[in-house]
A and B are shown apart, each in its own frame.
Chain A
Amino acid sequence: MPFWRADNVVGLQQSVLLLTAAAGAILWLWPVFPDALAGAATSAALILLTDRGDKAIREQITVLRPAMAAWPVATRGLEWTARGLGLLPGWLILVLCAVLLAGNGVAHSHKAGALYLAVAAAAQLALVGLPDGGARGRVGLVMISILVLTAIGSELWT
């Protein structure tokens, strides 16, 4: 709710990123555009989806922390649950990727496909689970994740 109300654009931004990642995955893995550029676009949308979502959740937690401090609830568990739920959109895309790859069973490298899914899941876990290492660390993690995924994705149809 906080991401959809009170002039907050995070909900809209996440929806656009989710649709972009889903559309990219369908075009790349169906495959309509089985090239490295489509893979790079899909990988970027996938990582940015989790990165932007996690950033918004962390900011929201920071805003809420003073109020939550007085609530009779275990706030640490609540915070980790919220951050964990931030993984769902990205993992939804990974499920879509797995389904699309399974539908093209003989046309791609199974090893590269499995590696792509595993690394993408790990990268998203790292984005959500690692402590805040500052803006530079975050940008570095996002860029490296996108580059590694793009590199693995380029091997998918070879």
Chain B
Amino acid sequence: MDLKHATPPSTPPAHGAILQLNGLQFRFETRTLFDRLTLAFDAGITWLRGANGAGKTTLLKLAGGALSPHGGTIHIDTLDSAGQSLAYRLQCFYCGGESPQLPWLTVQEWLDLHLALYPATDVATLNQHLTAFGLLTTLSQAITTLSLGQHKKLQLALALTLPVRVLLIDEPFNGLDTDALAYLRLQLAAPERLRSQCIVLTSHLEPVLPLVRTLQL
């Protein structure tokens, strides 16, 4: 199915879906990426596949509120990304693969910033994930001193902790060592998480996770 021209904008969102994209339009200067794209994501893990440049990361950023669509609507439950943007963003987190932003911060300060942005976050759970990823010793370091893998682990530790309805993870397995991969898979596949959270991840590798859906862009 060609998801870029999926269904007309009048199609109502699926009942019971957590994340709903309805008639989504997005274009770059030189090309249209999504034209009236309608998708619904339920609780559990959806694997978003596609070739480089197909729009996987853009779709995650649109769903995460980091980009604004040129048309259509995005909802998390009943929250509209445009009309209730702050409440919407509080319910989702985009875990990207970009190089460290806020380069002047230490790891602890970067975490504190995000804990302040999402005040309902459980610090004990965060510390558990940081310990599992072997990051506790890096807290006083400048965030720019982390390796690619450590930065990925830091983002994932935060993503796994935040009390959000929608978790959008771009290439979660890139740069991770074997132990971290096993821990991440264990956490993502936790039954409670699968019941309550909508997880959309992109990966060029087979996720080896219990998937509710695979989407090809």
Contacts and interface: CB of A to CB of B under 8 A. Distances in A.
A85 B61 CA distance: 31
A70 interface: yes
A5 B142 contact: yes
A73 B90 CA distance: 9
B67 A69 contact: yes
B94 A70 contact: yes
Contact of A72 (B90, B101, B105, B142): B90
Contacts of B144: 6
A66 B66 contact: yes
A70 B142 contact: no
A6 B86 contact: no
Interface string A65-82: 011011111100000000
Contacts of A1: 104-105
A4 B93 CA distance: 29
Q: How large is the interface on B (under 10, 10 to 19, 20 to 34, 35 or more residues)?
A: 20 to 34
Contact of B64 (A4, A70, A74): A70
B104 A67 contact: no
Contacts of B117: 71-73
B65 interface: yes
B102 interface: yes
B25 to A, nearest CB: 18
Given A5-B142, A6-B142, A6-B144, A70 B89 contact: yes
Nearest to A60: B104
A4 B104 CA distance: 8
B103 interface: yes
A70 B67 CA distance: 8
A70 B66 contact: yes
A71 B90 CA distance: 8
Contacts of A104: none
Contacts, number: 39
B103 A6 contact: yes
B86 A72 contact: yes
B127 to A, nearest CB: 22
B86 A74 contact: yes
Nearest to A2: B104
A69 B92 CA distance: 12
B66 A64 contact: no
B102 A71 contact: no
B89 A71 contact: yes
Contact of A67 (B89, B90, B93, B102): B102
A68 B15 CA distance: 31
Nearest to B61: A70
A72 B89 contact: yes
Interface of A: 1-2, 4-6, 8, 64, 66-67, 69-74
30 contacts: A1-B104, A1-B105, A2-B102, A2-B104, A4-B104, A5-B104, A5-B142, A6-B103, A6-B142, A6-B144, A64-B101, A66-B66, A67-B101, A67-B102, A69-B65, A69-B67, A70-B61, A70-B64, A70-B66, A70-B93, A70-B94, A72-B86, A72-B87, A72-B89, A72-B90, A72-B117, A72-B118, A73-B86, A73-B117, A74-B86
Given A8-B104, A67-B101, 10 more contacts: A1-B104, A1-B105, A2-B102, A6-B104, A6-B144, A64-B101, A69-B67, A70-B65, A72-B118, A74-B86
